[in-house]
């Protein structure tokens, strides 16, 4: 919600990002794939104990999230945005969330039921948006814990060596955002 409201303010920055990364000649889908690879790197660090692993897991997850900005910026700058690209991007976003939470679970950074709650409601937040928008109910930017906020929170808490608290906050935000979005969609469909 908070970061989505900044979207218009930072549009010139994302445009420059698109311009810069498009100079490589690589298509937007490449950066999407790169984001998945960074999520896999994040997972591999999260699967192990120790501060260095939470630090690296958090940094790689943050970079993975940045790649999501890059792929959209490149598609926009090169005028190659498409429905297929949007589908691939959205699906890869869900895959990266699952990958990272799996690493956190295997690494024992929080009880499995808490991680299950975090990943389930993170996915449901996205599902409710997609379903709501398929029913012509605008959801984008609604709710406290959209994906960008969740990535930043979990990454920052990991970087300071406290991924457990990041998982707790992400879980709470995901549940609140899910409920909020359900209320919005149901209210609009009455």
Whether 116 has a pLDDT exceeding 70, the answer reads yes
Whether 1 has a pLDDT exceeding 80, the answer reads no
Domain that holds residue 79: 2-189
**CATH code: domain of residue 124:** 1.20.120.1760
Q: Enumerate the active-site residues.
A: 93
Q: Residues 3-50: pLDDT tens digits?
A: 566 667 778 888 899 999 999 999 999 999 999 999 999 999 999 999
Question: By C-alpha distance, which of 39, 94, 93, 34 is closest to 67?
Answer: 34
Q: Count up the domains in the chain and report the number.
A: 1
Nearest-angstrom CA–CA distance, 63 and 45: 14
Q: Residues 42-70: pLDDT tens digits?
A: 999 999 999 999 999 999 999 999 999 99
Q: Which residue, chain included where needed, has tokens 């300071």?
A: 160
Nearest-angstrom CA–CA distance, 138 and 158: 33
Nearest-angstrom CA–CA distance, 2 and 4: 5
């Amino acid at each position: 919600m908070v970061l989505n409201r900044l979207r218009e303010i930072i549009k010139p920055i994302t445009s420059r990002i698109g311009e810069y990364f498009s100079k490589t000649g690589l298509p937007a889908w490449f950066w999407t794939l790169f984001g998945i690879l960074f999520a896999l790197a994040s997972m591999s660090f999260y699967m192990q104990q120790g501060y260095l692993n939470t630090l690296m897991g958090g940094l790689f997850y943050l970079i993975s999230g940045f790649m999501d900005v890059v792929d959209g910026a490149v598609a926009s700058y090169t005028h190659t945005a498409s429905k297929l690209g949007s589908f691939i991007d959205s699906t890869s976003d869900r895959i990266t969330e699952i990958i990272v939470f799996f690493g956190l679970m295997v690494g024992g950074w929080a009880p499995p039921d808490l991680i299950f709650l975090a990943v389930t409601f993170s996915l449901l937040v996205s599902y409710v948006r997609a379903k709501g928008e398929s029913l012509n109910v605008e959801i984008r930017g609604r709710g406290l814990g959209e994906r960008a906020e969740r990535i930043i929170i979990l990454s920052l808490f990991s970087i300071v060596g406290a991924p457990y608290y990041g998982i707790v906050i992400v879980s709470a935000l995901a549940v609140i955002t899910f409920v909020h979005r359900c209320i919005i969609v149901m209210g609009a469909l009455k």
